[in-house]
Amino acid sequence: MVSNESASYSKRLLHLVSWSHWFTFFNIIAAIVLSSAYIVIEGMPDTTLGTTYLITNWLSHIAFLIFGSFVLLIFPLILVYPKTRVIRGVASLVFTVVLMLLALDAFIYSRLGYHINASASSQILDVIAAQIEIRPREFWFTTIVLAIVILVFQLLVSNYAWRHLRQLQKTVFARFIVAGLVVSFFFSHILHIWADANLEYDILRQDTVLPLSYPATAKTLLTKYDLFNKEDYLERKNAPLSLVGTIPAYSIDSAQCHASEAIDHSTFIVLSKKIFEQSQIERLLDRSALQSLMLKRHIDTSDSAQAWFNLLYSLPNIYQDDVLAQNAKPVLLDAIANQQLVSTFTLVGDENKAALPTWLIDAFDVFRNEPDISGLVLEDEFKKVKPGLHIVFFDQQDDYQLTLFLDALMLAQQNKAIKDNVYVSTLGNELTQTELIEKPSLLAFNSDNFQKVRTLTSHMDIAPTLMKNWLNCGLATTRYSVGQDIFTLKENRVIANTNEQGILVFNKDKSVFIDQSGNFNSYSRQQQAPITLKEDFPLMIDGVNYIKRFAVANTIEQPKK
C-alpha cells in the first residue's frame, strides 16, 4: 500500500512537473510578445551587429526571466504541495502578476528611461499617479482589461497544457525553439563580453533596455542620452559634457504675455556671493511685510558666471554657449520690456563691472556700480524706484552692508501700500565643496497664489515663478526653461546641472556628483570631505531628463522642414 501511494505521488509529481514546463514555455512566448514594447520604445540599433545582439539578447533574456520566475516561485511549491488544482491556480495567478509587472515596467521605461526599482519608487509612483489623474478612465480600463486578458490566457494555456500533455510531449518544435533560445543566450553574452572589451557602443548602449539586464556605465548612459560626444567615448577620452545635435532656438515671442491690468509693483532680487545662514533668512522672515517663505532646500551648483545664466535664462550650464551665441535676450527680461517695465542691475562692491559677463550688463536697461549702499538705502530712493525688476548683487567679503540694505528694503515694504516681491539668495560657488550643499533663501511674494514649499528649488525656478505670478504670463515654461513655478512644485522632484567635470543631481534624499569616469560622489558636511556613493543610475537618468527638458520639448514643437 505504501508502495502504491509512493508510485501515485511520483506519477502525479512528474505529471505536474511536465505540465509546468509546457505552461512556462507558453508564458515565455507571451512574455516575448509583450516585451516587444521595449524594442518599439528603444528603436533599432544603427549596425547589423547591434541589431543581431538586440534580437538574441531580447529573446533569450526574457525567456530566462520567465523561466527563472518558474524555478523560484512555482517549482518549489510543486515539490512541497503537489496538488493539481492548487498548483495550476497558483501558477496562473503568479504568471498573471509577472506579465502585468512586465507591462508596467515597459510603461515606466517609456516615461522615465529606467525600470522599476526601489531607489526611484517615489518617481515611479508619481508617474502612475499623474496618469491616473490625467486619464483615470483610460488607465483603469486598460489595467483591468489587460489583467483579465492575461488571466484568461493563463487559464486557457493551463487547461490546454494539462489536457494535451501527451500530444505536446510528442512534438519536436519546442525543442528547436528552446535550443535557439539557449544558443541566443550564450551568443549574446559572448558578444557583450567582446563589445565591453572593444567598446562597441551600439551594443553597450542597450544595457538598460531590458529589465534586470547588464549594469551600464555612467559614460555610456551620458553618451546614449546625447550629453557626451560619441567619438570621444569611442576613443576613451574625457571631455566637457555638451548637448549633441542642434540646440533649439531660444526665440520665444513674449509679446503674448499681457497682464489684464498694469503692473504697479516691483521685484527685488538681492544676491550675495556669500552663503546665507539659516538664522539670517529667519530674521528676514520676521521682518517681512509680505507672505514669505524660506526656501530651505535651495540649490545653486554653478560658479558666478554660469549662475547668472541659470537665474536669467532658467537653463542649465550645458546650454550656455549655444544660447548666448544666438544673441537672444532672456525671456524674463524681454517680457518685462514688453510690459513697459524697467530692469536695473546694481553691483555693490569694490569689483568693477569687468568682473561680470558682458551679456549680463547689456541685458539690463540700467547698470550701476556702487562702492557701498549709501546711495541706495535712503527712503526717497525706494520711493523713486519704478515698477520693474531690480537686481542688487553684493560682491563683498563681509555681509555688513548687505544686512543693512536688506533691513532698509524690508522696512520700506512695511510703509508701502502695494508691496514688492523680494527674492534673497546666494549666487555662485567660490569653492567646489559648496556646489552640493543646500543654500537657504527667501521668497516674499505679493500674490494670492501662495503656499508653503518643502521641496528642492533652484535659481532656474525664479524666472517661471515671476513670469506666471508677477507678469501674469501663461507661456508654457518648457518653451524657455527647465524650471517650474515654485508655487506648483511637487515634493518628489529632481534637479540637475552640469559643469566641466560631470553632472550634479539632487533629489529629496541626496545630492550626487557623477564624474566622467562614472564615479558617484557626494559631500559630507559632517566629515567636510567628498564621499563615494553606490551607483544610482535611475537618479542620474532623472537628472539627464531634467537637463534635456528644454531641448526635447522645443525640438518636438518645431515644425518639420
The helix (H) or strand (E) run that includes residue 177 is: helix 173-198
Q: Mark which of 210, 225, 248 sits at the end of a domain.
A: 210
Full residue range of the structural domain in which residue 21 is found: 9-210
pLDDT tops 60 at residue 85: yes
pTM score of the predicted model:
0.83
Query: Which are the contacts of 29, defined by CB distance < 8 A and separation ≥ 6?
Result: none
Asked if the structure places residue 437 within a domain, the reply is yes
CA 422/CA 445 separation, integer angstroms: 7
Asked if the structure places residue 397 within a domain, the reply is yes
Q: Which residue has the higher pLDDT, 2 or 161?
A: 161
**For 89, which DSSP code?**
H
Contact (Cβ atoms closer than 8 angstroms) between residue 341 and residue 466: no
Per-residue pLDDT band at 495 (split at 50, 70, 90): very high
- pLDDT given for residue 527 in this prediction: 56
Total of domains in the chain: 2
Q: Are residues 350 and 430 in the same domain?
A: yes
Average pLDDT, the chain: 85
Looking up residue 360, the CATH number of its domain turns out to be 3.40.720.10
Asked if the structure places residue 101 within a domain, the reply is yes
- Percent of the chain whose predicted confidence (pLDDT) is above 70: 87
Q: Are residues 34 and 104 in the same domain?
A: yes
Q: Which residue has the higher pLDDT, 254 or 11?
A: 11
Q: Are residues 199 and 322 in the same domain?
A: no
- pLDDT given for residue 258 in this prediction: 67
Asked if the structure places residue 410 within a domain, the reply is yes
Q: Are residues 195 and 336 in the same domain?
A: no
Question: Tens digit of pLDDT for each residue in 98-149?
Answer: 999 999 999 999 988 889 988 888 889 989 998 998 899 999 999 999 999 9
Per-residue pLDDT band at 304 (split at 50, 70, 90): confident
- pLDDT given for residue 561 in this prediction: 34
Mean pLDDT across 463-487: 89
Question: Tens digit of pLDDT for each residue in 537-554?
Answer: 888 889 988 998 998 888
Per-residue pLDDT band at 557 (split at 50, 70, 90): very low
Q: Are strands 421-426 and 267-272 parallel, antiparallel or unpaired?
A: parallel
Asked if the structure places residue 462 within a domain, the reply is yes
Q: Are residues 135 and 202 in the same domain?
A: yes
Q: Are residues 206 and 285 in the same domain?
A: no
Asked if the structure places residue 262 within a domain, the reply is no
Q: Are residues 79 and 159 in the same domain?
A: yes
Asked if the structure places residue 249 within a domain, the reply is no
Q: Are residues 168 and 27 in the same domain?
A: yes
Q: Are residues 206 and 304 in the same domain?
A: no
Q: Mark which of 192, 210, 228 sits at the end of a domain.
A: 210
CA 270/CA 390 separation, integer angstroms: 8
Q: Are residues 404 and 491 in the same domain?
A: yes
Q: Are residues 197 and 277 in the same domain?
A: no
**For 505, which DSSP code?**
E
Q: Mark which of 162, 186, 210 sits at the end of a domain.
A: 210
Question: Tens digit of pLDDT for each residue in 327-347?
Answer: 888 999 998 988 889 999 999
Asked if the structure places residue 458 within a domain, the reply is yes
